[in-house]
Structure 1
């Protein structure tokens, strides 16, 4: 099954753990080829890459990240050693020269961040695929330049708000229809930042409200995301994270039950339900991991069902 979905991760610890655990459980479809921009030089990062190699599952590792712990000569050398053959990816924010190409395979994924840099690159000498953002001017320029390489469309569909409480105003919204129409639009694949945004941030800020952003298939044509937010502070509840978490999970269970959604048995949701059954709050990192796991498994089921159909 050829890859068609390329979710983009910044290599944060709990994102990597989500990827590794879904992969270990055999729940990550071969149609999903994660792109990892490493920002942490950690055991989790190296263990995740090792798991992908062990399982022979396709992935892409960016050898020139734009932030984080690998922004040194030694760090770049380490990533170039890890990102070999079919796993190579490189961000084009500066022109690529012919001399540079000796370091890249014929199947490299080129991630376009600057059309000016792309224009100064000998594109016809490059092989592989190109990941391009959903920007009209950039796409128009590429189309008009007789560009004949495979294109993967990168979008940023998640609505990122400053506070979790703001999601009470938009509890449910469209996430993506791209899995349905990317081929009709002339792309060989599609990409997004999962339940995150294009803007990189090192860490989140403390928030009195807990939130879970869970995707679901609303119709054959679209994938939606429901924003679950814990109850607002009351004199009784205060800032009791455990109680807020338990009430949040009750919301999740009730909503999925009422909407008869079939994707309620994912590994990510089971992780949250188990913590609730045990009566403890698992921590913000585990909430993030569970949300990403749920998204990856839902996308795996969706893409495999679409292929079978």
Structure 2
């Protein structure tokens, strides 16, 4: 149903593991992990997912990062988990993969699709999608990566409607990059500001995102900027009585007057997003 795509950064992996350990990650959410960093967080996450039978997919041919070497490939093959594959050349026959990822129409145009019915994640691009004859999962880039000052100009916007529309559009599922963009960067923009990207459900189950940005020029350090941002978060109507585990992490640091670090902020925003999506789908299955 929902296949959030992660590049395997440490704090994204920590977000997934903490949600799973707390029982807050729905089984209808099936994370797709492209391992770009060889760190202990990856192994711990896969162990947790395997222990609780959380559906997920581990890409066995990442396109960037630490596993591109021969030694890295050998280590990656030793990791236990359900594997998926990024299509980099035309597929001529059925494979053993339960899920595939297509990035370009050129790769698919010569594929042998009469017997090729494996669910495939593909971007919303007509020339690409028309080559996918089997079940399609639409991949969208919902998060616009900007400098902090740009978020002040558009602090609130629609994040996605795909959770409401993917079936009507002919897809069996939908995918995005959570609170990140399609483009992979080792580092974020250097910034003096604190920015929190927090999603929330608005009227008619529309998923919106609010960008909380600190007044960096007016405050002397990250701690005071974090406190200023959290003062806004704590008064935001959607969060007054609707806490998630991610929000609790932020509010606990706020109550202690401590800045938890940029990585923890990132982790908390991802946790908040995925827990809200888990709640949404769990509610729908009960209706």
| Alignment TM class, shorter chain as reference | over 0.9
Matches of 2:240 and 2:209 in 1, distance apart? 13
Q: Counterpart of 1:308?
A: 286
Alignment of 1:281-292 (within 5 A): 281-292=259-270
- Note the C-alpha offset of 1:119: 2.1
Alignment of 1:30-179 (within 5 A): 30-82=27-79, 87-98=82-93, 101=95, 104-105=96-97, 108-139=98-129, 141-142=130-131, 147-161=132-146, 163-179=147-163
Matches of 1:280 and 1:181 in 2, distance apart? 41
Q: 1:192 aligns with which of 176, 201, 204?
A: 176
Any conservation in 1 of the 2:194–2:213 contact (CA below 8 Å)? yes
- Note the C-alpha offset of 1:128: 2.4
Matches of 2:66 and 2:239 in 1, distance apart? 44
Any conservation in 2 of the 1:131–1:151 contact (CA below 8 Å)? yes
Q: RMSD across aligned C-alpha pairs, in angstroms? A: 1.7
Any conservation in 1 of the 2:136–2:173 contact (CA below 8 Å)? yes
- Note the C-alpha offset of 1:262: 4.8
- Note the C-alpha offset of 1:97: 4.7
Alignment of 1:192-231 (within 5 A): 192-231=176-215
TM norm structure 1: 0.88
**CA displacement, residues 249-272 of structure 1 (integer Å, 9 cap, x when unaligned):** 00000113xx47653x10101001
Matched, 1:18 2:15: yes
Any conservation in 2 of the 1:60–1:83 contact (CA below 8 Å)? no
Question: Secondary structure in 1 aligned to 2:223?
Answer: helix
- Note the C-alpha offset of 1:124: 3.6
- Note the C-alpha offset of 1:122: 2.5
Q: Counterpart of 1:246?
A: 227
Question: Secondary structure in 1 aligned to 2:20?
Answer: helix
Matches of 2:115 and 2:77 in 1, distance apart? 20
Matches of 2:77 and 2:114 in 1, distance apart? 23
Q: Structure 1 residues 243 and 176, CA, compared in 2 at 3 Å: closer, same or farther?
A: same
Matches of 2:30 and 2:80 in 1, distance apart? 14
Matches of 2:190 and 2:177 in 1, distance apart? 22
Matches of 1:50 and 1:167 in 2, distance apart? 37
- Where does structure 1 lack aligned partners over 5 or more consecutive residues? none
- Note the C-alpha offset of 1:181: 1.1
- Note the C-alpha offset of 1:28: 0.3
Q: Structure 1 residues 118 and 77, CA, compared in 2 at 3 Å: closer, same or farther?
A: farther
